[in-house]
Amino acid sequence: MTGRGAVKVAYFDCFSGISGDMTLGALVDAGLPLGALAAGLRDGLPALDGYRLEAERVNQHGITGTRVAVALDPDREQPQRDWREIRALLTASALPAPARERALRVFEALARAEAHVHDTSVDDVHFHEVGAVDSIVDIAGAALGLHLLGIERVYCSPLSDGRGFTNSQHGTIPIPAPATAALLAAAGAPTREAPTDRELVTPTGAAIVAALAEFARPEFRPSAVGYGYGRRELPWPNALRLWIGEVAPSRPPILGGASQFGPGSSPRRWGA
């Protein structure tokens, strides 16, 4: 139970990067019921179908967590959607207002990054036909999950990412992917190189923290920890660690995202 006047916070510990599905897995592992998340998405976005949420328990290097996947119906053809259509879908949704606002902020950040990389208008950015559903569910699910858990502020650690190259629908691209790099640069996010030739920070994961989080670690009283696993096997647990806790009521709560702090104890800012 939240203490009187305390602010409930989420702290993303990205020691192995972050992706949309890792975010959903961490939220579920930290106490968000999968059924409540699935029902909230189904009721809030009834126009989006042809998918289901699946969760499994995963243990890597002795640490147990949750992997959540967006399973697509192979018999259902998914339309291409540009940012204009996705914005209309989210705006008209029945998601709770705080979740809807967060989802719009994240998707707009992602669309702006993609538009910058591909030198096109923001409204005309297309998300490929399969990935669009994944992205909408991951982003709307993350926003809804934070709301259902009562999270008022979001914080994030430095982001660990790999090096080298990866494949995309456009061919071979460097790690981090150009859209990821654009998002992290726009947010001024602190980064560090991990000893792997794998992509650890996806554009969707980068968009979630770039739009919603402050890159600092506050002093907080933890109440839950969750591990959201990715699909790859690495020499370490390939998980996003999510801390849920409370900070003293010395600062007014906001709907996540970077902001200036008021009086009271300040979080530790990376690079400060």
Flag whether 269 is in a domain.
no
Q: Does 267 score more than 60 pLDDT?
A: no
Flag whether 84 is in a domain.
yes
Displacement of CA 148 from its chain's centroid (Å): 15
Neighbours of 1 (CB within 10 A): 6
Q: Does 253 score more than 60 pLDDT?
A: no
Flag whether 160 is in a domain.
yes
Neighbours of 71 (CB within 10 A): 10
Place of tokens 């019921």: 33
What's the chain's length in residues?
272
For the chain, the domain total comes to 1
Q: Does 255 score more than 50 pLDDT?
A: no
- On the 0-12 / 13-18 / 19+ scale of CB atoms within 10 A, 223 is middle
> Which residues, in sequence order, are bridge partners of residue 174?
165
Residue 136 structure tokens = 């909408």
Looking at residues 148-163, what average pLDDT do you find? Answer: 97
> What pLDDT is stored for residue 259 in this prediction?
36
d(CA 203, CA 23): 13
Residue 169's pLDDT band (cuts 50, 70, 90)? confident
Looking at residues 178-199, what average pLDDT do you find? Answer: 96
Longest distance between any two alpha carbons in the chain, whole Å:
55
Q: Tens digit of pLDDT for each residue in 62-89?
A: 999 999 999 999 988 888 888 999 999 9
The pTM score is 0.90
Flag whether 267 is in a domain.
no
Work out the angle at residue 52's Cα, subtended by the Cα atoms of residues 48 and 58, and round it to the nearest 5 degrees: 140
Q: Which amino acid is at 152?
A: E
Flag whether 186 is in a domain.
yes
Residue 193's pLDDT band (cuts 50, 70, 90)? very high
Q: Tens digit of pLDDT for each residue in 84-109?
A: 999 999 999 999 999 999 999 999 99
**3-state class (DSSP) for residue 48:** coil
Flag whether 268 is in a domain.
no
**3-state class (DSSP) for residue 126:** strand
* Residue 75 lies in domain: 7-260
Q: What are phi and psi of 58, to 5 degrees?
A: -130, 140
Q: Tens digit of pLDDT for each residue in 199-243?
A: 999 999 999 999 999 999 999 999 999 999 999 999 999 999 999
d(CA 150, CA 173): 38
> What pLDDT is stored for residue 80 in this prediction?
82
Flag whether 2 is in a domain.
no
d(CA 127, CA 163): 24
Flag whether 271 is in a domain.
no
Looking at residues 154-173, what average pLDDT do you find? Answer: 91
Residue 149 structure tokens = 């858990």
**3-state class (DSSP) for residue 137:** helix
Contact (CB, 8 A) for 247 and 223 = no
Q: Does 53 score more than 70 pLDDT?
A: yes
> What pLDDT is stored for residue 225 in this prediction?
98
Residue 65 structure tokens = 């967590």
Work out the angle at residue 161's Cα, subtended by the Cα atoms of residues 159 and 166, and round it to the nearest 5 degrees: 145
Average pLDDT score, the chain: 90
Q: Does 271 score more than 70 pLDDT?
A: no
